[in-house]
Amino acid sequence: MADDGERSGDFDADELAMLRQLFRDEAHEALEAVTARALATGAGPPAPDAVPEMMRVTHTLKGSAGMLGMDTMVDLAHRLESALALLRAGGWTAAIADQVIEIADGMRAYVDAPTAEADGIAARVRTQIANLIAELG
């Protein structure tokens, strides 16, 4: 997992390793929830609680990453949350669902990435989110 903005002074090495593993598990669960909602919606209009639920889990993920000083993950989650907020007004299509799924997959890959690969993955996810926002805006 990428180590950006790490607040190592707040935790000893063992605590930080344990917390990062818990975060990884939480991130996978949260991003799987986003993916499941996007897949369930498909091309049709989302259920009334679908987008707010995706926003909620993304917001929680952002907070957890922030507590661990994982600034890049905070940024990615914030960007996704902002894109999802635009979807509350409508505009959901099968292509949008596919984009949301790709973004969630990219964020999962970022969480799992060795440090050397993390920056490239984060850049790709930022571009995907920017493209989604441009399409919605």
Residue 136, CB-side half-sphere exposure with 13 Å CA sphere: 24
- pLDDT score recorded for residue 9: 52
Q: What is the pLDDT of residue 16?
A: 78
CB-based contact 124:106 (threshold 8 Å):
yes
Given a cut of 50, the residues of the chain with pLDDT beneath it are 2-3, 5-8
* pLDDT of res. 13: 81
Rounded to the nearest integer, the mean pLDDT of the chain is 89
CB 137 within 8 A of CB 86: yes
Q: How far is the C-alpha of 21 from the C-alpha of 1, rounded, in Å?
A: 9
Distance from C-alpha of 89 to C-alpha of 66, rounded to nearest angstrom: 28
pLDDT digit string, tens, across residues 29-46:
999 999 999 999 877 888
